Amino acid sequence: MGSTGILDVLVDNLLVVATACFGIGIYVTISRYIQGKARPVPFDWPAPAASFLNYEAVTITRPGLLSHEDDPQLAPNNPVAGYRYITCYDPSTGLHLDTLPADTEADIMEKVELAKRSQLDWMESSWGDRRRVLRSFLAWLVKEQEVCARVSCRDTGKTMIDAALGEILTTCSKLEWIINHGEASLRPQKRRGNLALSYKTAKVHYEPLGVVTAIISWNYPLHNAISPIIAAIFSGNAVVIKCSEYVYWSSRFYINAFRECLFSCGWNPDLVQLVACFPEQAETLTTHPDIKHITFIGSETVGRKVAMAATVNLTPVTLELGGKDPCIILPRTDIRKWSSVWMRGAFQSMGQNCIGIERFIIHASQYDEFIAEMTERVRKLRLGSVLAPSSEGFVSVIDGGSMINDDRFDTLERLIKDAEDQGAEIIVGGTRYRHPYVENGSYFAPTLIGNVLPSMEIAQQEVFAPIMLVIKYHTVEEAVDIANGTRYGLGASVFGPDARLCKDVSLALECGMVSVNDFAVYYLNQDLPFGGTKASGYGRFGGPEGLRALTNPKVIIEDIFPMLAQTSIPAAVDYPIRSLVQSWEFVSGLVGFLYGYWWATKLSGLLRLIRAS
């Protein structure tokens, strides 16, 4: 090869290399741009002073939402005329946290309007924009998980472990699922057609509703607030959160942190609003014409009122109203192996858990073994305030926290006394607990009750307390009947060595969710819908079903090749109808051809169709 040929080869090779380098450079540049757009945006939100161990404040004797009206020390600094206020306090110690203004009807109307305006821009955001907001909040939550747990502990009296499991872990799980799979659930979905419409294509588009609201309970202030927020905004909506008055202080912290996240990502924080009001003002929200969906988490009594109010504007509602969740323990189950799971199921957050286990239904042959194991463990539970100052710090010597308040203690003690009078055995606890170090805390003793009958009132009512009820059964059919024998149908657990029997029992239960050889793990899998049946409510949040419930499913059907095939009205059925006989022959022949079971029917229908055309 001559020198000219060698030079040509070198030039060609250099061009190839240069072209490859140029292409790689473009790829790297675009990749970095995309990654930069997706990367979490860092932001900060200061921890409130009351979340620290060294926090000192007035200790309220018999604290309540209106304690500031009786004690001038608790009054707001600059009260505004015409406003009512809410006393915020730590239920495990009685420490005063703040006294905050309750929203008026005018405030609620204004907040809905602000959310409505901000949603107009947000509904045009891309999936990447929405993921970035959620990814940014997830990064902040992981970084500040201890602060968030302390805030929850301070406002509800729970322990750090209860906060980590019920608040942090579940919220992170939901954020991760929506970030990774939310778009797949909400992007336009192609649907199947049929022979008659073979020239058409159809899709379902999930469009934002506008402004939605979530009216949430107090037992998990972080998760119950953030969960509906992230579902709502990822679906393209604005959201108004109505928190419980009992967790106003912590809800304000969490929601302001999320608003800061929105602002840091370049979006209007008015997209997310917090309402804290008394029950008398709540209907302003539930009957507002601009509220397009209501999610309610709470009691059956209040849930019914919400559902009735929603009829004013025919607003769709998702109701999660709690339950009386059973745990069926099948014969030959290893009692010691599963006892830790059962303890967590009964005493997580001191029983203030909508999917907590309230009834343990155990075979008579293992009743004594179960009672012996649980008696030893329940007696060892230690109650207290996880944030009370001590030389040891927090967590190490505390198993359970306080109740949210003592309003229901008289009712709980009555239910327990009635059960005892009817033959139940109060083995451990059974009364309110007067803590030796935190006199103004709201504590109820962890309770174990044996020989409970399914007909007892305590076995039929949701107690929402640290009470483990134990019911005997003799046959599996009887166990299922007992489990199904209440008005509720939220969750359930089935334990046993026989996987097939566990599955059969699970299918026989009247409820929305079942964990086999586990407790409530269906909620950690956020791809699953969450909700129940019967008096436990209706509708679902969580999973694709929960996201789609916050949208308007709009069907769009169009021609595949409009230049080749479009709908036209055959002469036989065109107005004005020319012949009743001919038109009937045409339509009946079409039905026979399309839907006849036998080939002869189809052929006969086709011939009639041709003759009538």
Which amino acid type is present at position 592?
G
Q: Is 313 helix (H, G, I), strand (E, B) or coil?
A: coil
Q: Where are the beta strands (DSSP E) in 90-210?
A: 96-101, 189-191, 200-208
Task: For 426, list phi and psi in degrees, rounded to 5.
Answer: -85, 100
The strand pairing partners of 212, in sequence order, are: 239
> In the annotation, is 265 catalytic?
no
Q: Are 482 and 442 in contact (CB under 8 A)?
A: no
Contacts of 597 (CB under 8 A, 6+ apart): none
Q: 429: exposed, middle or buried (C-beta count within 10 Å: 0-12, 13-18, 19+)?
A: buried
Residue 387's nearest CA partner among 147, 60, 219, 168 is: 147
- DSSP class per residue in 553-576: EEEEEEESSTTT------GGGSSS
For 391, other C-beta atoms within 10 Å of its C-beta total 4
Q: 66: exposed, middle or buried (C-beta count within 10 Å: 0-12, 13-18, 19+)?
A: middle
- DSSP class per residue in 121-149: HHTT--HHHHHHHHHHHHHHHHHTHHHHH
Residue 215's nearest CA partner among 310, 351, 149, 289 is: 310
> In the annotation, is 511 catalytic?
no
User: Greatest CA span in the chain, whole angstroms?
Assistant: 112
> 530: which DSSP letter?
B
Asked if the bond preceding 544 is cis, omega within 30° of 0, the reply is no
Question: 167, 245, 260, 320: which one is catalytic?
Answer: 320
The 10 Å CB-count burial string (b at 16+, else e) for 267-302 is: bbbbbbbbbbbeeebbbbbbebebbbbbbbbbebeb
Q: Is 411 helix (H, G, I), strand (E, B) or coil?
A: helix
Angle at 315 between CA 309 and CA 316, to 5 degrees: 110
Question: 261, 277, 354, 502: which one is catalytic?
Answer: 354
3-state secondary structure 44-78: CCCCCHHHCCCCCCCECCCCCCCHHHCCHHHCCCC
Residue 420's nearest CA partner among 457, 464, 372, 474 is: 457
Residue count (the chain):
613
Q: How far apart are CA 216 and CA 248, in angstroms?
A: 11
Active site residues: 320, 354
